[in-house]
A = this chain, B = another copy of it.
Amino acid sequence: MNRENKIIQNNSVGLVKTQAFTFDSLKLESGERFGPVTLAFETYGTLNKEKSNAVLIVHALSGDAHAAGLHENEKDPGWWDAFIGPGKAFDTDKYFVICSNILGGCKGSTGPSSLNPATGAPYALDFPLISINDMVNAQKRLVDHLGIDKLLSVVGGSMGGQQVLSWLVNHPNKILSAIPIATTIRHSPQQIAFNEVGRQSIMADAHWKSGNYYGGSAPSKGLAVARMVGHITYMSDKSMAEKFGRTKKGPGETFKFTADFEVEGYLRYRGDNFVKRFDANSYLYITKAMDNFDASGGKRLCEILRGSKVKVLVISFKSDWLYPGYQSKEIVKACKLAGVETTYCEIDSTYGHDAFLLEVDEEAHLIRHFLKKVFYAYEVTGNYGE
C-alpha cells in the first residue's frame, strides 16, 4: 500500500505559512515567571462568526506546527496532512484548525536554542525546566489571542495526547471535547527508561558540553542514537519484520561494523536525518516534561474529572507497546468513573506507536464522526450541551 501517494493525492489545504505569536511572559508550574514566549503555529480553514468551529491540534515529541499543506519550495506535506483538509477528518470546509508548536521546542517557538534577551546568547541549560502543563498554558494564550473562547476540540497523539489530557484536566471550560490518542495519564518506568537512555546518549556526546554547544559542533551522534532508540519503540516487532525482514544490504563494505541489515541502514538514516532538524537540548527538556507529567497530579483522575461536560474520544492501537492499550483504558476508566461521556476504540494495527500517524482510514473515520456529533450538538442547542 502506497501511503505516500495517497497523502499527496487527497485534497490539500494548499500552500501554508508558519506564523508566530509572542507574548510577554508565562508563569510556569515551577512558580518561575518566564518570558518573552513565542509560539509557532499554523491555521487551516476559516473561523466562523460564532467562533465555535476551532480545533486545536497538538503534536508529539519531534513534531512541529506544520501539520498540513505545503510550505513553499518543499515537497513533503505537514505531518498529519492525511487528516486535515477539505473533506478530511478535520474538514477545513467546516472547521478552523490550529496546530501549535510547543514551548521548549526548536521549531520556531521559544526553547533552549532561542536567544536569551538578557544575555544575547542561547539559553542552553539556563532555559527553565518546563512541564506539559506549561506548554498547554502557553497554547491557551495563543487560543485567547485568536479570540476563541471555547475550542470545539483539542486533539493529539503520544505527547500530544498528554497535552490533550492537560487541557481536559486544567481547562475544562475552554474545550467542548478532547481526543487523546495513544497516550497515558503518566509515564511508566519503561517509558521513562527509554527517554532516559536518549538523554544519556545526548549527554554522553563529547560535543554536548553541558548544553553549551551552540555556535560549535552539536552533539549529533548522541542525538542520532537517541532517535534510533525512539524509532524502535515507535514501530512494532511485526511492522519491523514486515518492513525489513532480515534483508541484507548490498555487497559488504570493508568496515566490520557496517550496516549489514536493512534495518540497521534505516535506523542510521533516520538518526542522521533527525539531527539536521532537531536541537539536542530541546530533546532533553521535552522528554523530561513527558516523564514528569502526571495528568492528575498524583490524585485520582476520576475525582478531578467529576462534573466535567467535556466529551472524550480515546484511541489506542493494538500493536503499540510504547503506549500500550492498558494505559488508554486507564483514561477511559477514569472518565467513566467521573461520569464523563467517553468513547473508546482500540484500532487493530500492526504499525506500533506510529499507527497514530499512519492508520488514516479507521482513525480518521472515528475522529470525523466524533467531531460532527460534538459540533452538531452545539449547533442545534446553541450552547455547549451544558
Contacts A197-B267, A225-B204 given; indicate if A189 touches B243 (C-beta within 8 A). Answer: yes
Contacts A193-B240, A288-B256, A291-B261 given; indicate if A200 touches B224 (C-beta within 8 A). Answer: yes
In whole Å, how far is A275's beta carbon from the nearest beta carbon of chain B? 11
Kindly identify, within residues 287 to 319 of chain A, every residue whose CB is under 8 Å from any CB belonging to chain B.
Answer: 288, 291-292, 294
CA distance A267 to B196 in the complex (A): 8
Q: A196: which B residues are within 8 A, CB to CB?
A: 228, 259, 261, 263-264, 267-268
Q: Is the CB of A260 within 8 A of B221?
A: no
Q: Is the CB of A246 within 8 A of B186?
A: yes
Oligomeric state, in copies: 2
Q: Is A188 interfacial (CB 8 A cutoff)?
A: yes
Q: Is the CB of B221 within 8 A of A190?
A: no
- Interface residues of A, dominant DSSP: helix
Contacts A225-B225, A291-B261 given; indicate if A237 touches B190 (C-beta within 8 A). Answer: yes
Q: Is the CB of B288 within 8 A of A257?
A: yes
CA distance A243 to B192 in the complex (A): 13
CA distance A192 to B244 in the complex (A): 11
Q: Is A122 interfacial (CB 8 A cutoff)?
A: no
CA distance A224 to B228 in the complex (A): 16
CA distance A259 to B189 in the complex (A): 12
The answer, among B188, B245, B324, for a CB contact under 8 Å with A189, is B245
Q: Is the CB of A225 within 8 A of B240?
A: no
In whole Å, how far is A123's beta carbon from the nearest beta carbon of chain B? 12
In order of increasing CB-CB distance, the 10 nearest A-B pairs are: A204-B221, A189-B240, A189-B263, A206-B206, A189-B244, A196-B264, A190-B237, A193-B232, A201-B225, A190-B240
A-B contact sample (13 more), CB < 8 A, given A196-B268, A246-B294:
A188-B237, A189-B261, A189-B263, A190-B235, A190-B240, A190-B241, A193-B232, A193-B240, A196-B263, A197-B232, A203-B257, A256-B288, A260-B292
